[in-house]
Each structure stands twice: as C-alpha cells, then as structure tokens.
Structure 1
Amino acid sequence: MPQPELVIFDCDGVLVDTETIGNNHLVKMLAERGFETTFAEVRKSYCGMPMRAVKEKVEAQGFQLGDDFVQRWYDAIPVMFENGVEPIPHIEEVIGAVRSAGLRYCVASSANVEKMHVTLGKTGLIRYFEDVLYSASMVPRGKPFPDLFLHAAREMGFAPAQSVVIEDSVAGTHAGIAAGMKVYSYCGDEHADREGLAEAGGILFDDMRKLPSLLGLA
C-alpha cells in the first residue's frame, strides 16, 4: 500500500501496557458504587472509551456512580502506575520505522494529557510524543465517535485520507473508520476482542514487528 502521511497512535494498549492494571481498577471502582462486573466484561464493553463515556454507559443501566467518579479515576492514576508501566513489546521499533520514513505521527487517546504524561513518562516514550498529544477531553465526543481522530489529523495538518490509526479497542477502531481513516487493530493482547475488532473494520495484526510492513515502510 502507499505510505500514509500521518500515523495516529492510540496510547493505552498500543504504546503502553496499561489495560490490565487500569481495567482491574475500574472493576473495583464500579463495585464500590454497586455495579458488579468482571475484568472480561469491562475489557470488552468499555475499553478505549473516555471515562466520562464509561460513566454515562453504566448510569444508563440504572446505576449512579456520583459526580466525582471521573475525577476519582484520574486521581488514582499515580497510585495505579506507581510501580511502573511497560511499553508494548517492539513498539519502539515501529516508532523508529515511522521516524526513519519521515512520516508525521501523534497520539490520540481517550485518556487526558496528564495521564499520558504519567504512562508515557514511565516508559520513556514521552520523548517521542510530548508535543503531539491529543485527548478526548479536547472534543465534544470521545471514541467510538470520530471527533478525536479528526481533531488530531486537523491539528497535524492532514486530511483523513492521508492518515492511518493504530488502535487496540473496538471503540477506537469504530472511531477511526468513522473518521474515514484506515485502522490497524493490534490484537496481541490475550484479552483482545479479535471478532469485535474485525467487525468494526480494523486490519488485525498480533505483533508490532509486523506493523512497519503493513504501513509500507519495510
């Protein structure tokens, strides 16, 4: 395929391995407010969504999480990741290939910028992305809506057709497709919803070492 001109990376689950810690903590927070669920269900139903959208989705089922729920989530982040965060295996090889090809790149995440600084900072990846971090807090609607990816591409100076998205969630894959972008959906995590990613329109791959070739860089 022709090389894209802009590569938009999701953060959690694509750059940094935070999904297990984060989703386990979300299960605990939901249980504290009377919403009993499991890690598998949270991973499938809420992965990739901004926390305000998670709150709305849960409360639509008749559970009140409280006005402070989203803030409590963000307040817990330093503790959640105090023991460090690992980068997704081989992601630096991908970043290196993108940089060597002279492509522009950025991050578009449901997380706020402060959280990205924590997780990317602890992995050392922040040096690649410090000035190109885009958050769902910057747009009216988060994933699965296209607003965030369209905002990131516009801010970077590219049209959707010039851009590709690297995602790991069904919500994020839906968002990228809705934005008119090609989406490569990473499913190397054992808990990845491969069927859901494929149904959403993602091009599945299970090893970051395969991505440069998929992007036409190798």
Structure 2
Amino acid sequence: MAAPKLVIFDLDGTLVDSEPLANRVFYEKLVALGLDASINQARVTEDFTGLNLQSCFKHAREQYGLEIPEGFRDALQEATYARMRAELQPIPGVPAMLEALALPRCVASSSDLEKIALSLELTGLRPHFGAHIFSAEQVARGKPEPDVFLHAAARMGAVPDDCLVVEDSLPGATAGVRAGMRVLAFRPEPSGADQAFTALGCELLRDMGALLGRLG
C-alpha cells in the first residue's frame, strides 16, 4: 500500500477528548426537555456519535419524540463550550504524534468551524493545523456521506488515493471509505463494535502514539 500524502483527522474522540463532555451536556439538556427515563446516556451517546448537530436534533425528534425549541442550539453550545473550557484535554499521545508527523494534515469534522477552532486552541493543537480545518457545515451532506472528506482533500490539493483518514466513529469511518480513502479506526478499547469497522475495510488503531508507524 502506497504511503499517504495527506492525513485527515476527525476531531472529537480522535484528537480531543471532547465526546464524554459534549455527550454529558447534551444528555442533560435532553433530560430537561422531558427525555423518557428509559433512554439513558449510553444510548444517546451511541445514537449521536459521529453525527452533526442537525442529524442529532432530527433523531431526537423522530426517535425520542422530543420537540427541539427555538434557542436550544445556542443554549446547548454555550453549556458545551463552558464544559470544554473547564475540562477539555487532547487524546493521550496526540501532541507528540503531531509534533513528529512530517506529512501535511488537516481536520475534517462534523462539528462546526467555531467549535473545531476552540477545541484546537484549548488543547494547544491549533499550530499543528493552522487554517486547515474543515467542517460538515461547509458541504451538502454530513457523515456518513463522504462530502466533508472529499472537500478537505480537494482544498488540500490531494486525491482520495493519497489520503489517510483517522476516525473514531462508525459514521465517520463509513464516510472515509465512501470517499475512497484508507481509514484508520481509532478504537483504544477493544469491543464488539470493532467488527463493524473491520467489515468496512478499516484498520484498527489502539494508540494514537502508534500512528506514525502505520504510515507505510
């Protein structure tokens, strides 16, 4: 397999440990809206991981029977940002890995551009990416469709065959495969869900610090 010429990173759960924070805040907000007590945080996390915010709202309406009121997005964002500023950390091994990575790299995330930029600033990772951050809000379709990865590659001057995607969610990994790119699925803890990633053709990555050894 040819060595990649561009590494495209997902953000949440791949570069920064934001998912536990964001999922907890989202769950708290849904409970305040009247979420059925039988739906616990683990289910909400499983349902929403890898999706953009509009897809999460759609799921909450259609599957949980919740009406999302006007202003909910802003209130959720404010609460999430506050939690991030207090607690957000990079994924272990990421800072050293990015410092040693010699290849061009970018971020392509389901999060909006403001949240991507804030996450990278708070964790000290922004200098490794500069302006090379891309969001699903810039394309017609979010993950699991390939649009954001194809957009990122085009903006970076790369073709899909030359790209390596690093993802932690099944929708994101699916998007990378559909884009025609090689995908490393970051799965730090082995679980039964690993099979879904390998069935897609993804390679499993347990430690972000080991990514450099997987570039050949």
TM-score of the pair, normalised by structure 2:
0.90
Counterpart code for 2:68? L
Deviation at 1:42, TM superposition (A): 2.3
Counterpart code for 2:212? P
Counterpart code for 1:118? L
Partner of 1:12: 12
Identify if the C-alpha distance between structure 1 residues 46 and 197 changes in structure 2 by more than 3 Å, giving closer, same or farther: farther
Identify if the C-alpha distance between structure 1 residues 112 and 57 changes in structure 2 by more than 3 Å, giving closer, same or farther: same
SS state of the match for residue 111, structure 2? Answer: coil
Deviation at 1:38, TM superposition (A): 2.1
Q: Does 1:110 align with 2:110?
A: yes
Deviation at 1:41, TM superposition (A): 1.4
Counterpart code for 1:130? G
**1:133-212 equivalent positions in 2, closer than 5 A:** 133-188=133-188, 193-212=193-212
CA contact (8 A) 2:21 2:80 kept: no
Deviation at 1:79, TM superposition (A): 1.1
Deviation at 1:191, TM superposition (A): 8.1
SS state of the match for residue 42, structure 1? Answer: helix
Per-residue CA deviations over 1:128-155 (Å, capped at 9, x if unaligned) read 1131010111111111111111110111
* Number of positions where the alignment pairs a residue of Structure 1 with one of Structure 2: 213
Partner of 2:77: 74
CA RMSD, aligned part only?
1.9
Partner of 1:48: 50
Deviation at 1:117, TM superposition (A): 2.0
CA contact (8 A) 1:50 1:110 kept: yes
Deviates more, 1:90-99 or 1:50-59: 90-99
Query: Unmatched 5+ residue regions in structure 1?
Result: none
- Between the aligned partners of 1:11 and 1:189, the Cα distance in structure 2 is 18
- Between the aligned partners of 1:170 and 1:210, the Cα distance in structure 2 is 21
- Runs of 4+ residues deviating >4 angstroms: 189-192
SS state of the match for residue 196, structure 2? Answer: helix
Deviation at 1:188, TM superposition (A): 1.0
Deviation at 1:35, TM superposition (A): 2.6
Query: Unmatched 5+ residue regions in structure 2?
Result: none
CA contact (8 A) 1:173 1:183 kept: yes
TM-score of the pair, normalised by structure 1:
0.90
- Between the aligned partners of 1:191 and 1:117, the Cα distance in structure 2 is 31
- Percent identity, please: 35
Identify if the C-alpha distance between structure 1 residues 70 and 195 changes in structure 2 by more than 3 Å, giving closer, same or farther: farther
